Chains A and B, each alone.
Chain A
Amino acid sequence: MSNLIISPSPHIHSKDSTRSLMLDVIIALIPAVICSVVFYGWRELLVLGVSVASCVLLEWAVTKYWMKAPSTVGDLSAVITGILLALNLPYTTPWWVVFIGAVVAIGVAKLSFGGIGQNIWNPALVGRVFLLVSFPTYMTSWSAPQGLFGVDAVSGATPLGTIAEGLLQGSSVQELTSAYNYKDLLFANLGGSAGEVCALALLAGFVYLCCRKVIKPWITLSIFATVALTALVFNLADPSRFTGPLFNLLTGGLVLGACFMATDYVTSPMSLWGGVIFGVGIGFLTMMIRYFGSYPEGVSFAILIMNSVVPLLNRWFHQPKFGRK
């Protein structure tokens, strides 16, 4: 009684915390994680383990010994970076390459900007792109997956890689895509980065996040719509050179990128229209890189490029204010 608290309103708080939101994202990633482990076997588990452990450990060590700031490990954001980085790597990536990816993701892309909430680019993607340009051999070679339960899998390059290669040798898109059926793409039966392999599991996670109101669907949907539309136009114009909408939606980590990387709070715009433009930009850049760039897969670059525009989008687009039209 003698110690009554006096403070301004409001006097209660919702149950949401940074940690609870991050936990929801982790829960949403579980189907994709299970899917990739079942599909690729224990080596995928190793990549995931090394990635998550290094990200968490680095965040703890850097905040404690270097920044001398309260540790932010408890908010679980480093765990997500770890999972996303792992899902962006082939299961064959050696552990030390994964570790370097984690150093770049957490150390360079996140903590050197000041930690959670301060970074401009998605940490996991920066890590991934760093590895892609530094260790192309590890990042683009795909050997036959060894599924946990002997899941039958196709070996070789990723679908997008195969097609880019085939086009250079003069084949047409129709010949090249006839090898893939869309059921396989949806249900994880192709070579690729771990997270690219099961669109359905990723979409389930995305739906969970939307239902829990952790994220809003606009960014993801506008990416899907832009990719589909761009691909449709190009495919109609020249079916022998340009792949079609469904193929582009289901390959090259687009689902992973659109659902989990582009929707990262810190590196995406806050307003509705900012988000839509962000998504359209990612979708369009992805398709341009895929069709005309030297990399077969463009999602990572597209998201990082659009990340750079977020401060501008936040400045230009505000939500409508009450009574000011």
Chain B
Amino acid sequence: MGKHTFSIGGVHPHDSKISRGCAIEPLPLAPVVYISVAQHIGAPSVPCVQVGDKVKVGQVIAEPGGFVSAFIHSSVSGTVKSIGPRADLAGRPATHIEIEVEGDEWLEGIDTGDTLVTKIPEDNKAIIEKIRQGGVVGLGGATFPTHVKLSPPPGSKCERVIINGCECEPYLTSDFRTLLEKGEQVVVGAAILKQVMGNVPCTVAIEENKPEAIAHIKEVIARLGYEGIEVMPMKMRYPQGGEKQLIDAVMHRQVGSGALPISVGAVVQNVATALAVYDAVQKNKPIVDNSVTVTGECFPRQANLLVRVGTPLRYIVDYLGGVPADAAKIISGGPMMGRAVANLDAATVKGTGALLFLTAAQTRRAPESHCIRCGKCADACPMGLEPFLLNKLSRNMDLEALEANAAQDCIECGCCLYSCPAHIPLLDIIRQGKGAVLGAIRARAAAAKAAAEAAKNN
């Protein structure tokens, strides 16, 4: 087995993948769905349907609001009931399109069959356009529009496509189940990405706690006869699936501060994104559903569900038996980087990968005590930062020193807070410092740009 892993820091939380045995099952349709127009990084999409319109599954209901934006499709068939603000996961208002579900009628031209289509279209531009039309965004967490990532700026060259199957967050199993159950589709998706990026080599990175997935994908690649796609078993370590960490692990290249992966010749796509690419290109099927792990030791029934985008969380939870009495925290995503859910009436988005229920004991934060200068936070930081120092600087809002000590490089993986024996809320504090530094950097860039333009005009 390989010992591939990233070079700095990292932690080893228990993987707690208790839902690994649960096959992906489709969730029955909810009576009403609420589809957000802001479920990707970049400009929110602009609704293009009216209240009262009849829509079908896969029909575009919102168009991109800019280059870095995405199409949004109806995940159900039915009638548009309202378009307006509604509280998202965190309780913040965002524009949602409410659709009352009537039947399950798909838009013509979408191939809903199970037949594997292996013949990849030859025109790369057409492929990228199909990916854009399919509303594909990065499903590993960042929800960055995929077509943008696949259109590298002039002068940069992709040397390797990495399919991220690490799923290094504890509890999450949706990527694992996808690899097992839709391995063929993921591999064809990988082949499409590989072709689009100029037929570069492709690596499917899977952590070694998923031996079944490693074996299965190897078998699929051999069976489908793809050249230049390899499986790389990775050592189990968090945050292996972080984009910069994974590139370091696979290619032994470190993406510089503020730089994009393409600057070292890498394009990383998540397993679920590769599946979405397959669906969009080979099946004409936009993102209307995604796999969601519903799990937690206190949760009565573990599951991996295929959920239509916009399904209210409460509907999912009730389907599985309701919120357990001893659940103290519900997390959208994994326990290291996921967000606490403030509002169960919120609906899923494309990037929703998990609903995790933790008890008070599991998520308890012990009272903060004095820093004992053990340096465990610095050992754990995968970016090589010194959280103990950034913590102090953030408390003082010393922006100059924060920037000099690379607070802006923080990826908010949570390793520092996780490992601090004095239970100092390092990341909570550093986030504030990081935000301020990024603001200052942006302001400086804007000022420089304005000055340059003023100079040009004179």
On A, residues with C-beta under 8 Å from B are 1, 3-14, 16-18, 20-21, 72, 75, 77, 114-118, 265-266, 270-271, 318-325
Scoring A10, A14, A21, A116 by chain B CB atoms within 10 A of each residue's CB, the highest score goes to A10
- Please provide the chain B residues from 433 to 449 with a CB less than 8 Å away from any CB of chain A in the complex: none
User: Which stretch (B71-79, B198-206, B211-219, B328-336) binds chain A?
Assistant: B328-336
What chain A residues lie within 8 Å of B419 (beta carbons)?
14, 16
Scoring A3, A116, A266, A321 by chain B CB atoms within 10 A of each residue's CB, the highest score goes to A321
How far apart are A224's CB and chain B's nearest CB, in angstroms? 21
Instruction: Write 16 A-B pairs (CB below 8 A) sorted by A numbering.
Output: A7-B329, A7-B365, A10-B418, A12-B362, A13-B365, A14-B11, A14-B13, A16-B419, A20-B421, A72-B369, A117-B422, A265-B372, A320-B8, A321-B406, A322-B383, A323-B244
What chain B residues lie within 8 Å of A117 (beta carbons)?
370-373, 422
What chain B residues lie within 8 Å of A6 (beta carbons)?
329, 340, 342
CB of A10 within 8 A of CB of B337, answer: yes
In the complex, whether B375 has a CB less than 8 A from a CB of chain A is yes
Interface residue SS majority, chain A: loop
Q: Given A21-B421, A322-B248, do A72 and B370 touch, yes or no (CB 8 Å)?
A: yes
In the complex, whether B136 has a CB less than 8 A from a CB of chain A is no
Q: Given A72-B370, A270-B375, A319-B378, do A16 and B340 touch, yes or no (CB 8 Å)?
A: no
CA distance A140 to B335 in the complex (A): 57
CB of B423 within 8 A of CB of A12, answer: no
CB of A265 within 8 A of CB of B373, answer: yes
Interface string of B354-379 (1 = CB under 8 A from A): 00101010111110011111111010
Interface residue SS majority, chain B: loop
What chain A residues lie within 8 Å of B254 (beta carbons)?
322-323, 325
Q: Given A5-B329, A117-B373, A322-B409, do A12 and B358 touch, yes or no (CB 8 Å)?
A: yes
Q: Which one of A11, A21, A75, A320 contacts B384 once the chains associate, using CB atoms below 8 Å? A: A320
Task: Count A-B contacts at CB 8 Å.
Answer: 148
CB of B369 within 8 A of CB of A13, answer: no
Q: Given A9-B339, A12-B170, A322-B409, do A4 and B330 touch, yes or no (CB 8 Å)?
A: yes
What chain B residues lie within 8 Å of A77 (beta carbons)?
372
Q: Which one of B364, B376, B406 contacts A324 once the chains associate, using CB atoms below 8 Å? A: B406
In the complex, whether B385 has a CB less than 8 A from a CB of chain A is yes
User: Which stretch (B52-60, B221-229, B255-263, B270-278) binds chain A?
Assistant: B255-263
CA distance A316 to B382 in the complex (A): 21
CA distance A4 to B325 in the complex (A): 11
In the complex, whether B338 has a CB less than 8 A from a CB of chain A is yes
